[in-house]
Amino acid sequence: MVRKAVILAAGLSTRTYPLTVKKPKPLLKLANEPNLSHILRGLKFAGIEHVIIVVGFERQQIEGKFGNSFEGIRIDYTLQEQALGTGHAVLQAESFVKGEPFMVLNGDDLLLPDALRDGSKTVPSLIVAWHHQPQRFGVVDVANGYVHRIHEKPKEAPPKAMVSTGAWTLPPEAIDWLKKLKPAEDNEIRLPDIMPNLVQIGLKAVVTEDGWMPVTYPWDVLLATKHLLNLWGSRKVEILLKPAKVLGEVSPMAELVGEVRIEEGVKIGAGAKVVGPAIVGKGSVVEEGCDVVRTVIGENCHIKRGSHLEDCVLLDNVKVGEDAELEWSVIGDNVVIGNGVKVFSKVPTGITVRSVIKSQLIDTGMERLGCIIGDNARIGDRSILYPGTKVWVDKVVFPKTEVVEDVK
């Protein structure tokens, strides 16, 4: 039985900027819970008793949030001082896992409990899944239920090819194999480089249909949240998401439609409409005449009268002015959005939205995507933001500005 798991949570996560400029990616909230909380609950479901988190960037935020235990799971931390690869990160946990089989997974991605349970059953194994953009990942060759090769981020791959999720269950010998690896030209030690050893003893492919959502880019926060909400009410996420329920104060003149959770301290004003699946976090206020459609609102947010939020994720302490219109967007902590701000999410029919990541124009694969706004940014009254744009942390967009490119 596998009792231990190593979670890799040390990286800078530059591809999810501006959401992770000041916070580790595993702390990004999906459906109002840090993704790391979802992972830990899934690992507990899989029978894991002891988790070692490899930390680095802003380690104090992770350690401060989770401490040394989480819902009965023991947690220890180990520091990766330099970003020298996934294999190097695992070696930092050697003293905790030596002599035992153990799981390894990324703290960035959403992995559902069933997938983690199935992955923990076989040593060695790799959780694999289909993806519509396989070239972003390691494409795996699977035959007779076993992985034989991983092609790292190939230029071309068949549509919906099977890819590695980066979630492994490894035998005790894996530590010695990693220690014997010669670093690559960039001085990194990569976990997949022990593939020859694993193939020799039989690396089981554990296929998950809907148990994995990668969080590579900032808009993946929106997609992963929607994935959770689409599964809401099913057994697959029952230990991750609280049931639909009204705990706050809802005006008798307001309307709730579908699966909706209204947390304690929430106030929903007259004429407001909340269409599920939707969550309104603790202490938030939705004023008169607002529409909240398939949206997650974090804690202590304030949505002023007449505003329309559709298919959005708002993190905590967000303020949205009167008559604002936001769609298909991710809004960071402490953001202030002025009156009459409009966010557009659609481009010409048949074209998917593009967005710039690390100076490269990336095809999001999404027909609709609004904006990504980093923590503490301020968007002036009656500004317009166009599809795929991003506003960096602490930035100010002056009133009546048309945002057609990233604001850094």
| Environment class of 81 (CB within 10 Å of its CB; exposed 0-12, middle 13-18, buried 19+) | exposed
Q: What is the pLDDT of residues 199-249, one digit of tens each?
A: 999 999 999 999 999 999 999 999 999 999 999 999 999 999 999 999 999
Q: What is the pLDDT of residues 394-408, one digit of tens each?
A: 999 999 999 999 999
**Is the C-alpha dihedral spanning 81, 87, 91, 94 positive or negative?**
positive
Q: What is the pLDDT of residues 117-175, one digit of tens each?
A: 999 999 999 999 998 888 889 999 999 999 999 988 887 777 778 999 999 999 999 99
Instruction: Copy the structure tokens of residue 343.
Output: 């966010």
pLDDT at 348 over 90: no
Q: What is the pLDDT of residues 266-300, one digit of tens each?
A: 999 999 999 999 999 999 999 999 999 999 999 99
Predicted pLDDT at 5: 98
b/e 183-203 (16+ beta carbons within 10 angstroms → b):
eeeeebbbbbbbbebbeeeeb
Instruction: Copy the structure tokens of residue 357.
Output: 């990541």
Predicted pLDDT at 1: 85
Which residue ranges form the domains of the chain, and what is each CATH number?
A: 4-218 (3.90.550.10), 237-403 (2.160.10.10)
For the whole model, what pTM was predicted? 0.96
Helix/strand number for the chain, H first, E second: 8, 39
